[in-house]
Amino acid sequence: MDRAQAAKELERLAKLIAHHDYRYFTLANPEITDEQYDALRRQNQELEALFPDLRRLDSPSHRIGSPLSSAFDKVKHRKPLLSLDNVFNEKEFVDFGKKLRRFLKMPEDVLIPMVAEPKIDGLSASLHYQDGQFVLGATRGDGQEGENITANLRTVRDLPLRLSGDDVPKSLEIRGEVYMKIADFDALNASRLQQNEQPFANPRNAAAGSLRQLDSTITASRPIHFFAYYAQSLEGNLAQTQDELLQKLQTWGFVVNPYHKLCSTFDEMIQVYQTMQTVRETLPYEIDGLVYKVNDLRLQERLGVVGRAPRHSIAFKFAAQQAETVVDDIILQVGRTGVITPVAVLQPVIVGGVTVSRATLHNEEEIRRKDIRIKDSVIVQRAGDVIPQVVRVNTNKRPSNSQVYSFTENCPCCHSTLYQTPGQIAKRCLNGFGCEDQAIQRLIHFVSRDALNIDGLGEKHIARFYALNLITTPVDIFTLEERNKNFKEPLETWEGWGKQSAQNLWDAINKVRVLSLDKLIYALGIPQIGQTTAKLLAKHFTVFERFLETILNAHQNDAMVQKELMPIEGIGHGMARDIIDFFQQKHNVQMVEGLLKHITVLAYTVADNLPLSGKTIVFTGSLELISRSEAKAQAEKLGAKVGSAVSAQTTFVVAGKDAGQKLKAASALGVEVIDENAWQEMILATG
């Protein structure tokens, strides 16, 4: 057989074996015997051995994996992989529907059809196909950037290496969930126990651990599967509705969850939820709720994103499973921002298949309200099947010598006096990096994936460096390499380290010496400041020097707060106060000043080629064509800042019906005012 004949035969075998894989793994309806299938695989392997350079991207050999590779490369997602907001009861689900209609300016009685899909407890993955062939696969990562796990994903038997059908776009991205069936999970754990290996805690962990193996032959030996639920193409719309999109995924060869259902009425949506809750225990895989997505993809586009979640979808979680146990003790934990959280130490109990030995008690007021005491019998549940919490006390079983729990006035770690912000429930330690528990948590946050993302500085490493007094503040991270040169025992000589791993750490640290303003603000760990708010602050102040100077001057100056912080959309007075209070603590200012000697903070920039880049817009009054929320989303999508108050920096005000004080302020400041019709004309002109 010559090369041309071999190439043609390998193409035939790849297509034929893929067909039989689909019949066996996806449809559970094989057309040939195992012996016939094995013969086809052997024929393919023998040809590839003779002509190794003819091995195809869709070769069946990829299913068996490849030897150990280096660490995973990073992959930037074309479009962020978002997380979902959750609801836990019917009222919250109804409120979600109301928010949709308000945003879309729809009457209350209008029904928005939605597709319900079981929420698989697995690991999200993104797959890229070029000319119908699978070329790249990545984990969700931080939503913006994931890890390249292409070799591992090739081993997943129900994931097509080549797409079927005639309407496959040239460039296509598929998103879905990698999971492990319960029976396969049990068998895997039984095997691991026989080999004296640590069993996995649950099927999700097993799937995630299998997918992140550096040796893909290990992944190939694990029974993991893939459900597809989303597709996007650079060539335009693939379908008009979510329901049509799922059908298209099936025609291309993907497995979609068979329990997905298009619901036209609210009663149908609730009925699906109740049905799935009933059959949940009979499914071969774990689910923890249902995901509801607006069916109309054009409406999905209009609804857009808020924070890190899409507005058009919601996860309706199942009711939490409960069990009864005893509180052996109540301990206090110090969080990253100094907040003291009481935790119940429980006699271990199984809740929803997971052993629970601790549960959050939230705060002092919650303990008092539920009257939770040591040695009480309590009902615990896993909220959203994740976080254990105490629901109530079974007072009928309370010991006669029971005593009311008394909350301490001092930090359980550093013993400094606790502080309670007026109007807030939580008590907080203000000792910052002087409090060991708080310092370690703040350092872990500082280097975490969503903050500076320093590879090689995990929780265990941070704790060890802190214990040795080598990293006690973020500043120490950036001086560690230089100090390491004078250590009696340099890092590269430590157990578990080496010359290359130490160099990898120095490279990772040096890589983040130049960072964006929003990353730094988030990494500092200011109370209430998440990633979304950090970006709002960065967008408003642009450069760090202006941000810091403004916040330092705003202390005890409410006029400054009103002028600089309150106009920022999404910043309330309580949040503004927390920002200011953070920088009134001397150790925080010293830490920031020390950081600035070792890092360069880039000015925050938005795409300056967007139609409204550099403009600040304020909306006031009642809009009639679209909702205020959608108008704000339109403005931000086009590059504008949206303010909540009119100032001299405001570019123009969009005034709807019954505009009030903001309209007067605009007139007094000479700020341009346009009506809603003019705004929509502007949107159309820039579109």
Q: Which helix (H) or strand (E) holds 23?
A: none
Count CB neighbours of 508 within 10 A. Answer: 16
Which residues, in sequence order, are CB contacts of 366 under 8 Å at separation 6+? 342, 372
3-state secondary structure of 136: strand
**C-alpha distances in angstroms, 253 versus 135, 243, 368, 643?**
16, 16, 56, 47
Place of tokens 């040939």: 32
Counting other chains too, the contacts that 309-312 makes at CB distance below 8 Å and 24 or more residues apart are: 309/82, 309/83, 309/84, 309/85, 310/82, 310/84, 311/99, 311/100, 311/103, 312/100
Q: Per the structure block, which two tokens stand in for 228?
A: 């597809």
The rounded Cα 290 to chain-centroid distance in angstroms is: 18
Question: 287-294 and 313-317 as β-strands: parallel, antiparallel, unpaired?
Answer: antiparallel
Give the residue from 297, 232, 303, 263 showing the smallest Cα distance to 79.
232
Spell out where 338-474 has E strands: 340-351, 354-360, 377-383, 387-393
Measure the CA–CA gap between 26 and 349, rounded to whole angstroms. Answer: 37
Alpha-helical regions (H) of 448-529: 459-467, 474-484, 499-511, 517-523
Would you call 262 helix, strand, or coil by DSSP?
A: strand
**CA 223 to chain CA centroid, nearest Å:** 25
- What is the DSSP code (8-state) at residue 78? S
3-class DSSP state for residue 685? helix
Q: Is 119 part of the annotated catalytic residue set?
A: yes
> Would you say the C-alpha torsion 364, 368, 373, 376 has a positive or negative sign?
negative
CA-to-CA distance for 32 and 490, rounded, in angstroms? 62
Q: Which tokens go with 222?
A: 């694990």
Could you tell me if 289 and 318 are in contact, meaning their C-beta atoms sit under 8 angstroms apart? yes
Task: Identify any residues that bridge with 154 across adjacent strands, giving them in sequence order.
Answer: none
If DSSP states are collapsed to H, E and C, what string results for 263-327? ECCHHHHHHHHHHHHHHHHHCCCCEEEEEEEECEHHHHHHHCEECCEECCEEEEECCCCEEEEEE
Among the listed residues 99, 119, 586, 615, the single catalytic one is 119
Active site residues per annotation: 119
